[in-house]
Amino acid sequence: MQDLTTGSLSGHLIKTTSFMLVSMIFQTLYVLVDLFWVGRLGTDAVAAVGISANLSFLVLAISQMLGVGTTTMVSHAAGSKQHDQAIVLFNQSQVLSMVAGVTFLAVAMFYRTAYAASLSADAAMQSQAEQYLLWFIPAMALQFAMVAMGAALRGTGNFKPGMYVQTGTVIINIVLAPVLIFGWGPFDPQGISGAAVATFVAIAVGVVWISFYFLDNNAYLRFHFVDWKPNFRVWGRMLTIGLPAGAEFALMGLYMVVVYLITKPFGAAAQAGFGIGLRIVQSAFLPVVALGFAVAPVAGQNFGARKGQRVRDAFKTAASMAAMAMLVLSGGIYLGAAQLMRLFSSDPEVIRVGVDYLHIVTLNFVPSGVTFVSASMFQAMGNTLPSLMTSFIRMAIGVVPAVILSRRPDFALTWIWWLTVLSTALQMAMNLLLLQREFRIKLVHAPESLAVPV
């Protein structure tokens, strides 16, 4: 365990953010490399992987619920120096993650054929999707255990194991995917199934690897099978904390569906321009997302230790770091928007739509950075409902008027992007107001999440 209740807050945040950022960069690299090799198999294979990737978003939403609840409660116990309770909470999170993983595996495998058929354009694409899902679904089921263990370690301030394991699994996947897809060396070519098998093997290795960190009897967190009897009170508290965070991912998914439906009449070039621009923005957000992951355990431990001023200072420091980083990134992307778009497309219409999108949404960067940090502060104090509420309001303001306005004959895509700017600024303002209220209420009382029987 790393004690985050003493020492430099900026030092803790920079150190923990760097570990998370390395993991995220490698994860992004994995997605690009995997798509590169699958692309050599043809359009149907790429489309099949795209269909299957929708399940990744579902897994991300569910695992985020487990991860946020685990990190928050373990950080509270660690900060208040209640070691025995931290061990109980860790083991309960493992049982809960297993239940979630097995349930996902059973349901997803049962509906695998129906899911592929409902989204596939033709029989060849459906066949490819079914082959891929046969191994991809078990790989995603294993992901729950790895996420829960990594989240518990983050709660104790230990980010290194997660970074090592995440990076290692990505490297395994990158190396193994082309070998299995094309049958290099002694292996037979497995086509699209090879990509899914590579993912399954990599995640299985990752689960075994990270498990070793909890086998040592001297480890701060360790497996204690006596504590594996389900404690539904603990589960309920974890899910209560994590559910809003998972719901936020669901809301983002809904927003994406609506935007794609609105852009459909504008043609493939408009959708491609938006899609490329969105991925550029997502890549630019990696530093602030990593900072958000770092803020929760740092502030959470200090909240558990009842060091209210350090909790406030953690937010001020992290918000300043996020704002400065996003200001620099927004300026760079605004000035280089056209050059960035040309890296992915030579179609003038695609480039035009993407440049328009980037020029407008870069205004969101600083507000979004502050919003990410404030959302992590809500997680640290065990109350994620305010963040969920403001996310819902942001989606409503960004989506409902866009749907209504899209029926006008003079409707332009840029209207959607300006609604996004308005809704994001409003969310930041609401988050800041609600966070100040949370500080006034929570920082003078003992953390409620500590009232869990050991």
Q: Are 164 and 146 in contact (CB under 8 A)?
A: no
Which stretch of 21-25, 375-379, 421-425, 433-437 has the lowest confidence by average pLDDT? Answer: 21-25
Provide the pLDDT for residue 323.
93
In the three-class reduction of DSSP (H, G, I as helix; E, B as strand; rest coil), residue 407 is classed as coil
Span 289-310, average pLDDT: 83
* 33 or 276: which leads in pLDDT: 276
Alpha-carbon distance of 431 to 387, in angstroms, equals 7
Q: Is the pLDDT of residue 164 over 60?
A: yes
pTM, two decimals, is: 0.69
Model confidence over 44-61: pLDDT tens digits?
776 677 667 667 767 877
Q: What share of the chain is helix, strand, coil (3-state, %, to 5)?
A: 85, 0, 15
* 454 or 13: which leads in pLDDT: 13
Burial status of residue 279 (CB atoms within 10 A of its CB: 0-12, 13-18, 19 or more): middle
* 17 or 381: which leads in pLDDT: 381
Which stretch of 25-34, 281-290, 304-313 has the lowest confidence by average pLDDT? Answer: 25-34
Q: Which residues of 107-135 are buried (b: 16+ CB within 10 A; e: fewer)?
A: ebeeebeebbeebbeeeebbebbbbbbeb
Taking alpha carbons only, the member of 384, 391, 377 closest to residue 428 is 391
Highest mean pLDDT among 29-38, 103-112, 120-129: 103-112
Q: How many residues does the chain have?
A: 454
